[in-house]
A and B are shown apart, each in its own frame.
Chain A
C-alpha cells in the first residue's frame, strides 16, 4: 500500500472532529572513518507516521513506525481515545484548508550504499596520499533522501522531497599536534569535491607548522562561515515570539513585549530564510507532530515564505505559531529550515590581508548557553585557530574556551566577507542548509586556554 493511500485511509477512518496525518519516509547511507580506515558504516530505511486527532478542541497524538493495513483502524481509534482525557488545547486553531501540491503524488527516491560508488575510491586514494604524508584522516560522509507528506481532514494534501547530506573531514598530523577540518552540506552528494577539500586541509596543516602560545583575553577575531553559522543558529533557535513576549529571552523587552523593531546590529546585517533559495531548497510548508512554543500542530500546512529575521540590523521577525499570532494580532511566522546571511564583501583571503592583528577561527565546538538573559554562550575553538598579523597568517595558536553572545557578536561585527554555503561544525547535525559570510568581530572573549589539540 502506498503511503499516500495509507494516509487517505486514515482520514477516511477518522471519526474525530479533525484529523491530521503526517508521514516521513527516509533512506540513508553513511560511512565513517578514523586513522585512514573505516570504522562504522551502513544503510537504513526508516518511516514514521503520526495521527493527530482533535475532539472538542482536545488533541490526541500517536506516532508509529509500524502500521500494517489491518492495524490502521486501531491506530486511528487510539489517537481519538487520546483526546478524551485531555484539556482543551491552548493553541487550538481551525485547520488550514484545502491546499495541495505536486509533491503529494511523488515517491521517495531511495538510495543505497551506491551513493558512495564514486566517492569511496576517491577517499581510498586520499587515504593513501595522507598516509604517505604522515597525515591521519577522520570523518563522515552521510546522505539521505526523505519524503514528507501531510494530509488533513480539511483537504490538505502536501508532499516534499528532500535530499540532504554532508561530508566532514578532519586531518591531523600523526602525533595529533596539528589539526584542521572542512565540512560541506549537500542535497545530492554529487557536488562533493574531495580533492579540493584535501588541498585546503593541507594548507591549514601547513599553517600549523609554526605553533604559537597565546594567553586568554579579548581578541579581534575573523570567524570563518562555519563558526558564524553555529553562533547564529543558536540565536535563530532562540528567536521565538512567545518566549520573548513572556520575558524569557534576550529578545524580550523590559516592561513587556519583544524587541522587534529594535536596531540590534549594524545596518549591513540582514538575515533571512527562504524555502525556495536556490541551492538551499527546503520544505515550503510546516510539518508539526507535537506543539511547542516554536510551532503548533495547528500550524500543519502553513506556507513558509521568504522571511527576514533581521533587516538592515533591525530585529524584524520572531518565530510565531498561528495561535500566538492571533492572540497578539500579528502574522504567523513559521520556522524555516535554512538560514541565509547575504553579504558580498571581501574574500576571506582579502580580510586576512587587511588585518593588523586578529585570530582566525576555523570552527567552534561544544556550544552551550550560560546566561539566557544575554544569550551568553560558551564553547571551544577547534581544529584551527591562527594568529594573523600584518596581513599574514603567522602560525597556529592554542585552542581557547570562549564566552560570547551571538547578539553581542553581531552587534560588533566590523566587517562581513562574501557569503558561501557552509556547514555548522556543531549544529550541522540538526540544521544543514546555511549560507554565511566570514565575519570580523572586534572584541571576542577567549576566557581560558584549552590544552586540546
Chain B
C-alpha cells in the first residue's frame, strides 16, 4: 500500500526552530546528551450505547520534551507551550532536575551508539480516519448495533471506536532529525444478554483486532455485519451451555485469545528493564533474568518468538524509536530457548549488547521514553497445520476464542485468562460451547506444554491500544501475531465455583 505524506498541518508547526533553540541551549550547558521530541496526537473516541450516541470527543494534544544527561544524571522537562523561548527554558529546567537529583544517582548514564539519521516515516494506511465525517462513523456504528438488537437475542449492545493519528519529530544533539506519522484504530462491540427472571447476564464481543490501519479497516476490511449476525446467537447459546468441570484439559487456543497470553507472559517478561529491576516497585520484575539468556527453556521446541518494530500495520511499528534508533527485528525465543530481550540505548550499553534494538517509546510529549514493548509474535509452524488438524488431535479439551479477563503476577509466573467463547472438544471434534472457563498456569510450564502451532493460514496479528507501564503511568499500542496453538493438560477453573465459599 502506498504510504501517505506527512500531514502538512503538522509539518507547518514550529518544531525545527524549537529544536534548534533547545539543542543549542543544551550545548551551552555542556551536557553529554540531549534530545528534543515534539508530538501531536489527534484522537477521537466514539461510544454508541444501543442506538444512542453516548459520547464522541475529538481531541488534539501538542507538546514537546527535552531530555538530557548532565554530569551523568538524567534531566527531563516537558511543556505544551510552543515557542523557542519555552524550548530553551525547558532545557534549563531539565538541567535543574539533573542537578537537584544528582545526589540520588550512583550509576552515570551512558548510551549505546546509534548512527545519525535525517529521515521521515509514515505508516501504511489507506484512509486517514480524521478525514471521514463523524456522521458516516456514527451511521456505521448505529447500523451494526441495530443489527445486533434486531436479533432479539441481545438486550443491549455497546460499540466503542478509538482512532489515533500520531506525529512525532525527534532531533538529537548528535544530529539526527526524524519526522514520523502513524495511524491506528480499534473498534469492537459488546453484546449483552440478560435473563430478566434470574438476573443472569453475560456479554460477548465482536472479533475485530486493533490495527495500524486507517478507516478502510472499519468500513470494508473487517466484516462487522457478519459478527452482528453471529454474535447474538452465540451469546444465547453460551448462556445455556454447560458450566465447565474444573480440571486438566488440552487447550486449542485461537490467536484472538493467545495474543494476550503472549503479551503478558512473553512480551512483558522479556523487557530488559523489568529483568534488571527498574520496574520492581510498580509493573514488577521478570523471572527471565539476564543470567538465563541463551539457557532458559522458555517453551517447547516449536516455540519461535520474534520482536519487531517493522511489521506492516503493527501497532508498535515505527521507522525510529523515541531515542532515534532505527526499527529492527530480532529473535526473543528460538527453538524454545530465551535468546533476546527488548532494549533501549541505556540498557544496551550497560549490559554490553552493543546497540539498542529500538524499544524506547513515550505515549505523550509530556512523558519520558521508557523501554516499551515492540510487536512480539509467536511465529507459525512449518507444517502448515490447520485449526481442524489441532482440534483433531485432542481427545478431551477446549477451544478458546477471544480475550476477556487477564491477570499475571509481578514476576510473570502465574497467570489466569478467560475468553469470549469456549468450545468443548471431544474425540477430535467440537461438540458445543462451555461457560465459566478460566485457564491458569505458570508461564514456563504453559509454553513447554505447547505441542503444536498452526501454519501461516491460521496466523493473525492481534494486539492492544493500552498496554500500561511506568510511573507516571504510560500506555502503549502493541501488536502480537500468533497462529492457533495446542497446549496439553492445562489447569482449567470454573469461575462460578471460584467465587463461592469454601
A residues with a Cβ closer than 8 A to B are: 28-48, 50, 59, 61-66, 82, 85-87, 89-91, 112-114, 116-117, 120-121, 123-124, 127, 136, 138-140, 142, 168-170, 172, 176, 181, 217-218, 246-248, 252-256, 289-293, 365-374, 376, 378-380, 382, 399, 401, 403-405, 408, 412, 429, 443, 445, 447-453
Contacts and interface: CB of A to CB of B under 8 A. Distances in A.
Contact of A45 (B53, B78, B94, B156): B78
Which 3 residue pairs are nearest across A and B when measured between Cβ atoms?
A: A254-B199, A42-B76, A63-B59
B138 A38 contact: no
B419 to A, nearest CB: 11
B352 interface: no
B199 A33 contact: no
A179 to B, nearest CB: 8
Given A38-B73, A44-B79, A124-B104, A378 B93 contact: no
A136 B80 CA distance: 36
Nearest to B498: A403
17 contacts: A30-B472, A34-B277, A40-B368, A41-B76, A85-B134, A124-B104, A181-B281, A252-B199, A369-B405, A372-B203, A373-B201, A376-B495, A376-B499, A378-B416, A412-B501, A450-B414, A451-B287
Interface of B is mostly: mixed
Contacts of B407: 366-368, 378-380, 401
Contacts of A181: 281
A374 B200 CA distance: 10
Contact of B278 (A34, A252, A399, A450): A34
B290 to A, nearest CB: 13
Contact of A37 (B49, B105, B280): B105
A123 B493 contact: no
B63 A43 contact: no
A82 B58 contact: yes
Interface in B160-216: 192, 194, 196-203
Nearest to B49: A293
B56 interface: yes
A113 to B, nearest CB: 5
B133 A40 contact: no
Interface string B133-157: 1110010000000000000000110
A367 to B, nearest CB: 7
B74 to A, nearest CB: 6
Contacts of B442: 451
Contact of A41 (B79, B97, B411, B493): B97
The residue in A181, A218, A248, A378 that gathers the most chain B C-beta atoms within 10 A of its C-beta is A378
B78 A246 contact: no
Contacts of B63: 46, 65-66
A403 B502 CA distance: 12
Interface in B1-49: 45, 47, 49
B133 A218 contact: no
A116 B370 contact: no
B170 to A, nearest CB: 17
Nearest to B502: A218
Interface in B76-96: 76-82, 93-94, 96
The residue in B77, B370, B491 that gathers the most chain A C-beta atoms within 10 A of its C-beta is B77
Contact of A366 (B55, B194, B408, B502): B408
B440 interface: yes
Nearest to A445: B498
A41 to B, nearest CB: 5
Contact of A451 (B414, B491, B496, B499): B414
Given A64-B60, A87-B53, A370-B405, A124 B103 contact: yes
Given A252-B199, A365-B409, A370 B438 contact: yes
Given A85-B135, A123-B104, A365 B495 contact: no
B339 interface: no
Nearest to A87: B53
A41 B75 CA distance: 7
B502 A217 contact: yes
A246 B408 CA distance: 32
Nearest to A64: B60
Contacts of A217: 502
Contacts of B416: 370, 378, 401, 403, 447
Contacts, number: 293
A42 B78 contact: yes
A59 B77 CA distance: 36
B244 to A, nearest CB: 13
Given A38-B73, A62-B58, 10 more contacts: A29-B97, A38-B74, A61-B57, A90-B53, A117-B100, A136-B277, A172-B280, A248-B156, A291-B55, A366-B410
Nearest to A246: B156
B77 A43 contact: yes
A9 B240 CA distance: 59
B499 A452 contact: no
Contact of B45 (A59, A65, A290, A367): A290
B134 A452 contact: no
Contacts of B97: 29, 41-43, 113
B59 A248 contact: no
B196 A256 contact: yes
A116 B82 contact: no
B101 interface: yes
A124 B105 CA distance: 9
A31 B156 contact: no
A370 B200 CA distance: 15
B499 A247 contact: no
Interface in B461-502: 470-473, 491, 493, 495-496, 498-499, 501-502
Contact of A43 (B74, B93, B104, B107): B93
B410 to A, nearest CB: 5
Contact of A371 (B413, B491, B495): B495
Contact of A399 (B60, B155, B368, B409): B409
B379 interface: no
B413 A452 contact: yes
Interface string B437-475: 010101000000000000000000000000000111100
Nearest to A376: B499
A142 B471 contact: yes
A382 B53 contact: no
Contacts of A31: 101, 104
Contacts of B414: 380, 401, 448-452
Contacts of A123: 104
Given A176-B285, A382-B410, A89 B53 contact: yes
Contacts of A401: 407, 409, 414, 416, 440
Nearest to A366: B407
Contacts of B282: 140, 168
A378 B282 CA distance: 18
B54 interface: yes
Contacts of B470: 40
B366 interface: yes
Contacts of B59: 48, 50, 62-64
A372 B409 contact: no
Contacts of A168: 281-282, 471
B406 interface: yes
Contact of A30 (B96, B418, B471): B471
A372 B367 CA distance: 34
B405 A368 contact: yes
